[in-house]
Structure 1
Amino acid sequence: MIKLLLLLLSGAKFGKLLTTGGTMLISLGVYALIWGWRYAAGFIVLLFCHEIGHYIAARQRGLNVGAPTFIPFVGAWINLKEQPMNAETEAYVAMAGPLAGTLAALACYFLARSEDSTLLLAISYSGFFLNLFNLIPVPPLDGGRMTGVVSRKFWMLGAPALVGLFLWRPSPMLILIAFLAAPHVWKAFRGEGGEAPGYYDTPPAKRFEYALLYLGLLAYLAVMTYDVHEMLGGLRAQL
């Protein structure tokens, strides 16, 4: 009986790895058809680093979480099998993704500069932009989950940012995000909750800490995204 249980558990773990690896390969194949396999592979690695940040943070907080799953043109996510019990835990898990993703993009950036690689520079730009986009303060994006612990009024700033981004670069993905965000933003506007009582009862010092972290990361990613975009533009002009 014990051997059978161990076999089932090992099979379950293998199934998780197969799901993550299989969806990564599918995404790699789709992206490679458009951008080439080298860029696609780098982009997938940066996505994985972002999601593994969420995964580790969720495990640190004792949450039951599944391995990352990838879908082309949607991105990736981890399957939280149980929801955080309070806004601070939700913010902690949300914060870890952009932090890990930013560090990965920064490592790619420094490698690009040392190797004088335009390809790696382009991959680092995608990483900076991806994590910057995720910091738009509306649920279900990471920015919405990070700012919820500070004040849900942040979400009303994120809504026009999402609209402006759609007007600049229309995308079905943005429509989906807006659809998912709308109920949360509306409740915040009306001052209504929906979570368990005490969900947002976080000490002021901790809220201030998350606010500083969020705004600092947002500013840093905005600067790096702009700078790398300008570098790539300069390189294209030389061709």
Structure 2
Amino acid sequence: MLGLVLSLILIAGTALALRGGFAGAGWNRAGFDVNAAGLSAVAVAAAIWFFGWQYGLAFIAAITIHETGHVAAFRVCGHKDAQFRLIPLFGGVAVSRSLPASHDKDLFISLMGPAICLGPMALCFALAQLIFPQAAAVASFLYIQGLVLGGLNLFNLLPFWPLDGGKIVRLLTYTFFPKATRAVSILMSAAAAALCVVTGSYILLFFVLLGWQGLIQSEQLIELQRP
């Protein structure tokens, strides 16, 4: 029961931090880009095909929660146009037409993707434990959902660009050691590429290489933001 109470406190705290970020109606409330519904449908099908229906649906749900956190944070920071879309094999992405106005807003947006997953993750584990004697199948899925939410958070907080952890490291480095930003950026990408090669994750390696151009551009864009 304590776990359930703590999970609800986490959810309430996140909702408080993101108050005003869930404006709109229907799908727009969560920031889902309905114009990319076809791409999102392919993403759902691909996830179920590769991971099975339980882990596939849990993965899509986790990505949706994560990206909703980014979108809500964008909106709190004044980006009312922010939306997210699901991308086959790569998860999802939250976008806005304009750059966050300051480093602290950029940091807030990067943090709220992982942060919004903490409450639901804890809630899934707490509910799974409570209902297991009465509904083992439902409890099993909730446990899987909690694992996927936790795994997604762990992955996204790795200090590699363009993951949230990499963005956070870049922002903190530029804030406290601006001259080291380029070196840290290169180190992050090299470490990510090396990890992909060692683990044989060539799809992720493609993702890292794809993000290299964005990393170079981000060094120019970060200078346009207020500290």
- Flag whether TM exceeds 0.5 (same fold): yes
1:179 deviation in Å?
4.1
CA spacing shift, 1:177–1:68, aligned 2, 3 Å: same
Q: How many residues align?
A: 188
1:136 corresponds, among 158, 171, 174, to: 158
Aligned to 1:28: 44
CA deviations 1:94-113 (Å, max 9, x no partner) are: 11101112333232232333
1:55 deviation in Å?
0.6
Aligned to 2:56: 40
Task: Specify the SS of the correspondent of 1:194.
Answer: helix
1:25 deviation in Å?
3.2
TM-score of the superposed pair, with normalisation by structure 1:
0.64
Q: Cα RMSD (Å) of the superposition?
A: 3.5
Corresponding letter in the other structure for 1:163: A
CA deviations 1:176-232 (Å, max 9, x no partner) are: 2244237747x99xxxx523656363xxxxxxxxxxxxxxxxxxxxxxxxxxxxxxx
1:52 deviation in Å?
0.5
Contact 2:55 2:148 in 1 (8 A): no
2:100 is aligned with 1:69: no
2:199 is aligned with 1:168: yes
Corresponding letter in the other structure for 2:212: A
Corresponding letter in the other structure for 1:71: I
- Report sequence identity in percent: 21
1:170 deviation in Å?
1.6
- Unaligned residue ranges in structure 2 (runs of 5+): 1-24, 174-180
CA deviations 1:151-174 (Å, max 9, x no partner) are: 146545533541343112423233
CA deviations 1:9-65 (Å, max 9, x no partner) are: x9xx6xx65336544433222222333333322221111110010011000000243
Contact 1:109 1:121 in 2 (8 A): yes
CA spacing shift, 1:181–1:103, aligned 2, 3 Å: farther
Alpha-carbon separation, structure 2, partners of 1:110 and 1:164:
37
TM-score of the superposed pair, with normalisation by structure 2:
0.67
- Unaligned residue ranges in structure 1 (runs of 5+): 1-9, 202-239
Corresponding letter in the other structure for 2:104: E
Corresponding letter in the other structure for 1:121: Y
Task: Please identify the structure whose Cα radius of gyration is greater.
Answer: 1
Contact 2:81 2:96 in 1 (8 A): yes
Task: Specify the SS of the correspondent of 1:95.
Answer: helix
Alpha-carbon separation, structure 2, partners of 1:162 and 1:17:
29
1:96 corresponds, among 112, 120, 135, to: 112
Aligned to 2:102: 86
Task: Specify the SS of the correspondent of 2:110.
Answer: helix
The answer to which of 141-150 and 46-55 deviates more is 141-150
Aligned to 1:108: 124
Corresponding letter in the other structure for 2:156: N
Corresponding letter in the other structure for 1:165: L
CA deviations 1:98-146 (Å, max 9, x no partner) are: 1112333232232333335444333322222222111122332211222
CA spacing shift, 1:34–1:150, aligned 2, 3 Å: closer
Task: Specify the SS of the correspondent of 1:33.
Answer: helix
Task: Specify the SS of the correspondent of 1:70.
Answer: strand
Which of 1 and 2 has higher RCO (CA within 8 Å, sep 6+)? 2
